[in-house]
């Protein structure tokens, strides 16, 4: 049983998943700080400091704090937008890097012909 668990725990997929969770948690802290410390105050300045948490609907002795729910939705939208923008910027840099790698040096007609001849000779040897 211990051997099976050890084999499972040390598989590449489990270790990759553990790393993803740790990096995801750290990334989550960065995004939370970005939203709480930079984006939300800027939106508060633009909108006059809107805060929904004070909205309460009272029925008898029960308090329905729907303002907290609205604030959570608002915060989620801001966080999702921030993550989307960060991922989009990262993907843009990744595409530029891949384009540089794919282009490489241009091959003139003589070199292309030599490459084709080489490939044909390789195919004849394997047959």
Residue by residue, pLDDT tens for the chain (127 residues) are 888 877 776 776 777 788 888 888 888 888 888 877 888 788 778 777 667 778 888 888 888 988 888 888 888 888 888 888 888 988 888 887 776 666 666 778 888 888 888 988 888 876 6
DSSP state of 122: H
pLDDT at 126: 65
pLDDT at 103: 62
pLDDT at 100: 64
* Cα distances (angstroms) measured from residue 90 to each of 12, 17, 21, 94: 25, 21, 19, 6
* Cα distances (angstroms) measured from residue 81 to each of 31, 33, 43, 76: 10, 14, 13, 8
For domain 1-48, give the CATH superfamily: Large-conductance mechanosensitive channel, MscL; domain 1 (1.10.1200.120)
Within its chain, how far is the Cα of 45 from the centroid? 28
């Amino acid at each position: 049983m211990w051997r099976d668990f050890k084999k499972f725990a040390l598989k590449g997929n489990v270790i990759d998943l553990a790393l993803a969770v740790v990096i995801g948690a750290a990334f989550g802290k960065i995004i939370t700080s970005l939203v709480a410390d930079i984006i939300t105050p800027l939106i508060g300045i633009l909108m006059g400091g809107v805060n929904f948490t004070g909205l309460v609907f009272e029925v008898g002795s029960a308090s329905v704090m729907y303002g907290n729910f609205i604030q959570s939705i608002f915060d989620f939208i801001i966080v999702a937008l921030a993550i989307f923008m960060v991922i989009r910027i990262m993907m843009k840099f990744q595409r530029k890097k891949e384009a540089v790698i794919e282009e490489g040096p241009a091959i003139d007609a003589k070199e292309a012909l030599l490459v084709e001849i080489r490939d044909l000779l390789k195919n004849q040897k394997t047959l």
